[in-house]
Amino acid sequence: MAMMRLRREDPRVVGSFRLHRRLGAGGMGVVYLGSDKRGQRVALKVIRPDLAEDQEFRSRFAREVSAARRIRGGCTARLVAADLEAERPWFATQYVPGPSLHDKVVEEGPLSAARTAAIGAALAEGLLAVHEAGVVHRDLKPSNILLSPKGPRIIDFGIAWATGASTLTHVGTAVGSPGFLAPEQVRGAAVTPATDVFALGATLAYCATADSPFGQGSSEVMLYRVVHEEPQLHGVHDALAPLIRACLAKDPKERPTTLQLSMRLKEIAARETHGPLPDARLAPSRLPADRPGGRHGEHPGPDRAQQRAERGTAGAAPGPSRTRGPAPAPSRGGPRSGARPAGRRAPGERPPSSRAGRGTGTRPPSRTNGTGRRPAPGPDRRLLRQRLVVFVTVTVLVALGIAAAQGCEGPARGLTGPTEPFGADRVTDGAGHGPDAGPAPAAADRRD
């Protein structure tokens, strides 16, 4: 925001704030840059002397300040202090550093669809907080929107009006800026939150085209176009044009609500920011072997995929020669014409194979997996070898378990009597007690 030095007629102190610079002037008064004793910077607006003498204006101004105190939202400049009984009423809001939306568009030209939608979504969210407090801004336009580092901020609630209050303007006058006024404001009808929606639509059209949707001209011409002509949205982004046109409907009931507008603009901003899926997501994923650092540390050449496809379809029949790059120099005394010395291979060349067809000029039929690539046998052989080792180990353990069980059974029998071969004659002791004899005689019989 441009700052100017204080003029001779400007005050130096207002309330508890010291004034430093002049920020601008409008139809209601002059805005100054001030600070309090703690150094907090504020934008302080002092009402014009002629309006200060109008008791009707003072009454409306008091109601507006009371309503503005209820606004709580990050997209608005917070009201800091106000004096409604001063000789020249004034109010101070939080100072927002950054250029206005009007100056930004004048400097850089029309904004992109993504940025326009993002700004519009933040403004719609701010208007939602304003309307929930029962306030209608009534003068939303690019010069009343500041682009701070934390996002856009709505300022200048000087002519804001509480919802449902009657307008206190004189007959034949309209409060606001031509080109951004709603038709009901021009007619002098009651304002509603839909009035700010119309102004937001005109502001978004200005962001997209750097011009008002109702063109340029005198105030009377602009007000007539607002009421009787359709907005010109040539040059507005296709993603935003239908929504902006709905905001600029002549009938307030046909306009979207601030909540609907905020949600819709957030969707458009997200879609325009990220855009469609990149081509890399739509293309088929590369095969692992197509990546650098393949088998044996090879770096596949540019036509390796074509070579694989040819090898997968050639089979055993000899086909046309395939180009592998520059032909290798013939070796001296090598077994094959054009072979390289042992241990060296050209880039992209496979290691020599020991299968059938070696040295005959023809290749054996190769099995492919449908992509022109020979399946790697390494993992299958390792899996088979692991299974074989497990099977042998389990077999040995079972055999050792059986042998151990039989070894334990033999000593157990030796405790009860001598082990004898199966089928041998059993030997009994003098009393006739053998292994198969009946129970031992009683103790009385033994004494005899």
- Burial zone of 226 (CB within 10 Å; 0-12 exposed, 13-18 middle, 19+ buried): buried
Tell me the C-alpha distance between 86 and 248, whole Å. Answer: 40
45 is in an annotated binding site: yes
Q: 113 to each of 117, 127, 205, 258, how far by Cα in Å? A: 6, 21, 11, 19
To the query of whether residue 50 is one of the catalytic residues in this protein, the response is no
Which helix (DSSP H) or strand (DSSP E) does residue 24 occupy? strand 17-25
> Per the residue annotation, which of 36, 50, 103, 139 is the catalytic one?
139
Non-local CB neighbours of 380 within 8 Å, separated by 6+ positions: none
Supply φ then ψ for residue 155, to 5 degrees. Answer: -125, 180
- Of 338, 342, 354, 345, nearest to 298 by C-alpha is 345
Tokens (6 digits) for 310:
């040819």
- Of 243, 1, 178, 205, nearest to 110 by C-alpha is 205
Per-residue DSSP letters for 162-200? Answer: ETTPPP-PPTT---S-TTT--HHHHHTPPP-HHHHHHHH
Non-local CB neighbours of 6 within 8 Å, separated by 6+ positions: 12, 19, 20, 21, 22, 32
Q: Which regions of 307-346 does DSSP assign to beta strands (E)? A: none
- What's the residue count for the chain? 448
CA angle 304, 305, 309 (to 5 degrees): 115
Supply φ then ψ for residue 16, to 5 degrees. Answer: -100, 15
Tokens (6 digits) for 89:
């009423």
Residues within the annotated binding site? 45
Residues within the annotated binding site for ATP? 45
Which amino acids are annotated catalytic? 139
